[in-house]
Amino acid sequence: MIARNFTVELVAQDDPAIGDELILVRYDDGRVQELRLHDYAQLYALPGVYEQIVQERLGCRSPAELASMLAEAADGLGWERSGVRVLDLAAGNGVSGEALAAAGLRPVLGSDIVASAREAALRDRPGLYDEYLTLDLLALTDAQRSAVAGLQANALCCVAPVGDHPSQLPTAALVAAARLLTADALVVYMHDPSVGAADPVTQQLWNEELGGAGQITAQELRRRRYLHRYTVNGAPFEMVGVVWRLRRGREGA
């Protein structure tokens, strides 16, 4: 167990923007550090803080919810859960990968654009992923594409809102990762209905981005609204989870 020389407090605020919630870190030597909820690099460097604030204090349910939706979709197709090899995007310190594993799925890759996320995942959950890579999905090198494609993943999970708002994972990043999946694969992600009512991930998008000269069948399998977490003042903050099945080439015919 890693010793902690600090305590953390989620400060009561009137109505902070999502991600701008104030966190105070009080160190044993008297120092006080102010962080915001989306200061991921600093939060991940502090063992247990993300879980204490986001999972316990704010009751975040998205990792378990999306893992459950992905597992249910696999069950519905007659796939063995143990054979579902998942690329875990925006994986952070591995909370989402842990939920995938708890559902009987295999998280073969953890990935995040924040470098300290990898360090935290290897520190807090060693052995959870086959690989953990720090990736900018919009600027992948040939070597990175080859490494990810070589994992033969047939599922993708993104426990981060996907969309075109600056605070969201870009739709193009989700598509870039989906290109590295096997020819018959599942994709699960979350959509924030409070930031533009329309989900930017559509059948037309998949066809345009993945179809090319070949064929693709993009089938929405599940969509449900659920409690993502509570705000600092106890109000429910909801998301919409979505599962797609993407089949390319002969399997898409």
Token match 């559509």: residue? 202
Write the pLDDT tens digit of every residue in 67-106.
Answer: 999 999 999 999 999 999 999 999 999 999 999 999 999 9
CATH number at residue 213: 3.40.50.150
**Using 50, 70 and 90 to split pLDDT, how confident is the model at 127?**
very high
Residues 71, 39 share a domain: no
Average pLDDT over residues 183-188: 97
Residues 70, 137 share a domain: yes
Residue 203, pLDDT > 60, answer yes
Average pLDDT over residues 24-36: 94
Q: Give the chain's mean pLDDT.
A: 93
Taken in order 94, 198, 69, 181, is the CA torsion positive or negative? negative
- pTM attached to this predicted model: 0.93
Token match 């605020």: residue? 13
Write the pLDDT tens digit of every residue in 213-248.
Answer: 558 899 999 999 999 999 999 999 999 999 999 998
Angle, in degrees to the nearest 10, between helices 95-102 and 62-76: 40
Q: Which of 57, 72, 97 is the last residue of a domain?
A: 57
Average pLDDT over residues 29-55: 93
Number of domains in the chain: 2
Residues 44, 76 share a domain: no
Say if CB 160 and CB 90 are below 8 A apart.
yes
Residues 134, 106 share a domain: yes
Name the strand (E) or helix (H) holding 174: helix 171-178
Residues 10, 131 share a domain: no
1 inside domain:
no
Beta bridge partners of 190: 161, 241
Give the per-residue pLDDT at 250.
53
Residues 30, 104 share a domain: no
Residues 106, 31 share a domain: no
131 inside domain:
yes
Which contacts qualify for 125-133: CB closer than 8 Å, 24 or more apart? 125/93, 125/94, 125/97, 125/98, 128/94, 128/97, 128/98, 128/101, 129/88, 129/91, 129/94, 129/97, 132/91, 133/109
Average pLDDT over residues 203-216: 83
**Using 50, 70 and 90 to split pLDDT, how confident is the model at 158?**
very high
Q: Which of 34, 57, 80 is the last residue of a domain?
A: 57
145 inside domain:
yes
CA-to-CA distance for 62 and 60, rounded, in angstroms?
6
Give the per-residue pLDDT at 215.
81
Residues 228, 107 share a domain: yes
Range of the domain at 51: 6-57
CA-to-CA distance for 90 and 160, rounded, in angstroms?
6
